[in-house]
Structure 1
Amino acid sequence: MTFPTRRATLGALGALPLARAGHAATASWPSEPIRIFVPFAPGGSTDAVARLAAPGLQKRLGVPVIIENRGGAAGSIGTDAAARARPDGHSWLLTFDSHAVMPVLVPNLSFDLEKDLVPVTQIGRAPYVTACQPAKPYRSMADVFAAARKGGVSFGSTGNGTIGHLVMLMMAQRRGVELTHLPYRSGGLAVNDAVAGHVDFMIGSAALLAPHLAANSLRPLMQLGAGRLPALQSVPTAEEDGFPGLSAEAWWGVFGPAGIPAPILSRFHAALVETYREPAIARQFTEINQAELVLGAPDALAGFVREQIRIWGEVARTNRVRPD
């Protein structure tokens, strides 16, 4: 018969209070306000997606839900804050598509996307759309590329390394033209300058541009989804406009610091899903913002991000894209 060593026995006994404490913390969660870090400035689609859910989460979880904007360095500042937070379920990250290319944009990251963060759910996705002020002479992207051959055409995006920026690089290369990129700290700032005509055109998610397209303060030129959106039936897709196989979708996902107890992660996931599926919120997200809810399992988000890193990370490396 083999008996446990004294060290093993003492270790097991010492672990009991910790285990009980862990169970108690899980049972009492949440015990303080919940912070959701948004690693971008207010006014963009990521901020809007987070604030859309805050009241419903607060109702379901019974504590205040605080949206904390920490922009800068391609989203790495806010992401670092979430990764370093205590893994007790009171701090989370709601981020955007540039999350997947962050290792390329910021080579000396202080955290590891896969080791220091755990996926919760992909909230949704929306195709990118190009648009310009109606006073501009462009009626299509063909007009934009024709003007670019003469030089001096600028476009705005929500930042270096976003999928919108990267797909514009790909389109310009395929057409053999150069476009001047103007990266903004948030989608709200990019839209403001596009509406004012300070930039020739911009690229942003359908969710970001939808109110301005509906108000005719921006004219849509191309959409980059697999098919035409219900509200943009007269606007061609990239595939239809001579870019076979090309599509680009913005996406929003939720992560937490590694080490969050599985029961807490599961409860927060359930609260998110229930909140975004509320009829009023789902309508806002899908009909008004022209986006699609996903709300999948954590493993699905992990696999999705790995694929995004493979696809868009290569584009960012090839073009030597760096943070704003």
Structure 2
Amino acid sequence: MTSFTRRAVLAGMAAAAATRVRAQTGTWPSETIRIVVPFAPGGSTDAAARLAAPGLQQRLGVPIIVENRSGAAGSIGSDIVAKAKPDGYTWLLTFDSHALMPVLVPNLPFDLQKGFDPVTQIGRAPYVIACKPDKPFRTIEDAFEAAKSRGISFGSTGNGTIGHLVMLMMLRRKGVEMTHLPYRSGGLAVNDAVAGHVDMMIGSAALLAPQVSSGTLRPLLQLGAQRLAGLPDTPTAEEAGFKDLTAEAWWGVFGPAGVPEPVLKRFQAALIESYREPRIAKQFTETNQAELVLGDGPALARFVERQISTWGEVARANNVKPD
């Protein structure tokens, strides 16, 4: 009798839990899901979103659209997600400048750490400095030397991105100056670098991999701890004399604060499974020279907190101002 009663109680508890889940998720998903990318099309963040979209659509059974809403260091698109209804139909897929918005955007209209539910850090990739092959720089030292006697420009994927900040750190160590040209997206920066309109650019290995492999850009320096397999002849910053200097781009996914946990967990699982598909994983890791992370939400929250502290300090030390 006792055993039967215990089973009945457990069954009742399970039924109640299932009812709560159904109440929270309803028939989710039952309509189009949008992934907001807070940058223009053509960059690595946009590409990361579009890589996952078909797998998400297959797993969740609803259309997935990628919506580019660029501007103000990514805060325009981020604000859309922060203010969206937390029903699982609006998500943010963003880039490393996410952690710098409190420094770069005056009167930020949302709380960076309280306004979002972290889902997963997709991956990371070292930054790479590259130039058009007909530029006179064979090494990064050549560029620094040239900057002492004439104006040199470098492009980045945006003001306050980690790429921009690490360039400022190197320039300060070398005691030289260069003109910074921030672009609204990685795609625009790459186009101008390939065309020679900017002397060199810094972007993630994932962004620059196609141009480096095709020979339309020449890599000068990589900012990972070790040389990438795809860049065996390109020195790291440490090898070039910048002791203990590394810089990695990263991509993460967030929802508006308050997404029901069952919805968030289901979306997270579908997202991670999509990136782990062999074809997608190969594209991300081998073709794009990036590393998949795919941790949980709390791990992403802790990571972002460290990024805010580390790079926020660099931005303030270098007096980086909003665009």
TM score, norm. by length of structure 2:
0.93
* Separation of aligned partners in 1, 2:180 and 2:138: 20
Task: Report the equivalent of 1:84.
Answer: 83
Secondary structure of 1:178's match?
coil
**What are the ranges of 5 or more consecutive residues in structure 1 without an aligned counterpart?**
1-18
What does 1:175-324 align with in structure 2 at a 5 Å threshold? 175-324=174-323
The ranges of structure 1 where at least 4 consecutive aligned residues each deviate by more than 4 angstroms after the TM superposition are 19-22
Could you tell me whether the CA contact under 8 Å between 2:24 and 2:262 is conserved in 1?
no
* Aligned equivalents of 2:272, 2:103: Cα separation in 1: 31
Q: Distance in 1 between matches of 2:321 and 2:148?
A: 25
SS in 2 for 1:156: strand
Question: How many angstroms does 1:322 deviate by?
Answer: 2.4
Shift, 1:27, TM fit: 3.8
Q: CA deviation at 1:72?
A: 0.2
Q: Are 1:151 and 1:178, in contact at CA under 8 Å, matched by a contact in 2? A: no
Residue number in structure 2 paired with 1:95? 94
Amino acid at match of 1:272: L
Q: Assess if the C-alpha contact under 8 Å between 2:44 and 2:206 holds in 1.
A: yes
In the alignment, the residues of structure 2 paired with residue 29 and residue 22 of structure 1 have an alpha-carbon distance, to the nearest angstrom, of 11
Does the 8 A contact of 1:37 with 1:94 survive in 2?
yes
Shift of 1:20: 7.1
SS class of match (2:230): helix
Displacement of 1:223 in angstroms is 0.1
Give the Cα separation in 2 of the matches to 1:314 and 1:245.
17
SS of 1:28's equivalent in the other structure is: coil
Provide, for residues 88-108 of structure 1, a one-character-per-residue CA deviation record: whole Å limited to 9, x for no partner: 001000000000010000130
RMSD: 1.2
Q: Report how many residues are paired.
A: 306
Deviation at 1:22, TM superposition (A): 7.5
1:28 aligns with 2:15: no
Q: Distance in 1 between matches of 2:180 and 2:247?
A: 18
Amino acid in structure 2 at the alignment position of 1:206? A
TM-score (norm 1): 0.93
Q: Give the Cα–Cα distance (whole angstroms) in 2 for the partners of residues 132 and 26 of structure 1.
A: 50
Q: Deviation at 1:319?
A: 1.8
Q: Which runs of 5+ in 2 are unaligned?
A: 1-17
CA shift, 1:169, in A, is 0.2
Where does 1:109-120 land on structure 2 (aligned, <5 Å)?
A: 109-120=108-119
Inter-partner Cα distance in structure 1 for 2:317 and 2:74: 21
Question: C-alpha distance in 2, partners of 1:317/1:31?
Answer: 45
Equivalent-residue separation in structure 1 for 2:250 and 2:297 (angstroms): 15
Taking the aligned partners of 1:22 and 1:218, their CA distance within structure 2 comes to 51
Q: Secondary structure at the match of 2:100?
A: helix
Q: Which residue type is aligned with residue 247 of structure 2?
A: A
Q: Work out the CA distance in 2 between the residues paired with 1:23 and 1:100.
A: 34
1:6 aligns with none
Equivalent position amino acid for 1:172 in 2 = L
**Structure 2 partner of 1:11:** none
Q: Deviations over 1:182-201 (max 9, x none)?
A: 00111011000000111100
The correspondence of residues 129-140 of structure 1 with structure 2, limited to 5 A, is: 129-140=128-139
User: In the alignment, which residue of structure 2 is the partner of 1:5?
Assistant: none
Listed one character per residue, the Cα deviations across residues 3-22 of structure 1 (whole Å, up to 9, x for unaligned) are xxxxxxxxxxxxxxxx9797
Q: In structure 1, give the amino acid aligned to 2:137.
A: Y
Contact 1:38–1:69 (CA under 8 A) maintained in structure 2: yes
In the TM superposition, residue 28 of structure 1 has moved relative to its aligned partner by: 1.0
* Corresponding letter in the other structure for 2:161: T
What are the superposed Cα offsets for residues 21-49 of structure 1, whole Å, 9 maximum, x if unpaired?
Answer: 97435141111100100000001000000
SS in 2 for 1:231: coil
Distance (Å, rounded) in 2 between the aligned partners of 1:33 and 1:323: 34
**What displacement does 1:323 show?**
2.8
Distance of 2:21 and 2:266 partners within structure 1: 16
